[in-house]
Amino acid sequence: LVRLLQMIERGDGLSAPARATALAIMTKPLSSALRRGVPAGVRVASKPGGLDGVAVDAGLVYVDKRPFAIAVMTTFGADAGEAERSITAITRTAVSYFSRLGRAGAAGRLF
C-alpha cells in the first residue's frame, strides 16, 4: 500500500489528470483513524478500509519538509474501537517522528 501511495504521489503510470483526481478523492475531509492522528492543518490524502476483525488506513501525510506515506493494518482487535485507537496512536508516533526530522539538521540537531 505504501508503494502504491508513493506511485500516486509521483504520478507513476498515471496521467496528470488521473493523479489529480486520485489525490482530490483521497484528500476529501472525511474522519478516519489515521486522520485523527494528524494535527489540524496538516494535509492528508488517505483511504481507510476493513473487514470483520481487520482494519486498515493508509495515506500520504504532508508534514512540513518531511511528507511520508503510511499504511497501518490491524487484526484480531477486541473491537473496532481498539483497532481505530491503534491506528491513531501509530499515526501520531509517525507524525511526531517525521515532524522532528523536518526540523532537524543532518546531525540531528533540532532547529
Distance CA 50, CA 54 (A): 5
Q: Has residue 80 got a pLDDT over 80?
A: no
Q: CA 96, CA 14: separation in Å to the nearest integer?
A: 31
Residue whose C-alpha cell is 507513476: 12
Q: For residue 79, what pLDDT is reported? A: 81
pTM: 0.89
Cite the DSSP H helix spans in 11-107.
16-26, 33-36, 80-103
pLDDT for residue 108 is more than 90: no
The neighbour count for residue 97, using CB atoms within 10 Å, is 13
The C-alpha cell at 82 is 481498539
Residue 51: its pLDDT value, please? 86
Distances 72 to 23, 65, 80, 109, 111 between C-alpha atoms, Å: 19, 22, 14, 29, 30
Mean pLDDT of the chain: 93
How high is the pLDDT of residue 107? 85
What pLDDT sits at residue 52? 83
- Band (pLDDT 50/70/90 cuts) for residue 33 is very high
Calculate mean pLDDT across residues 34-59: 94
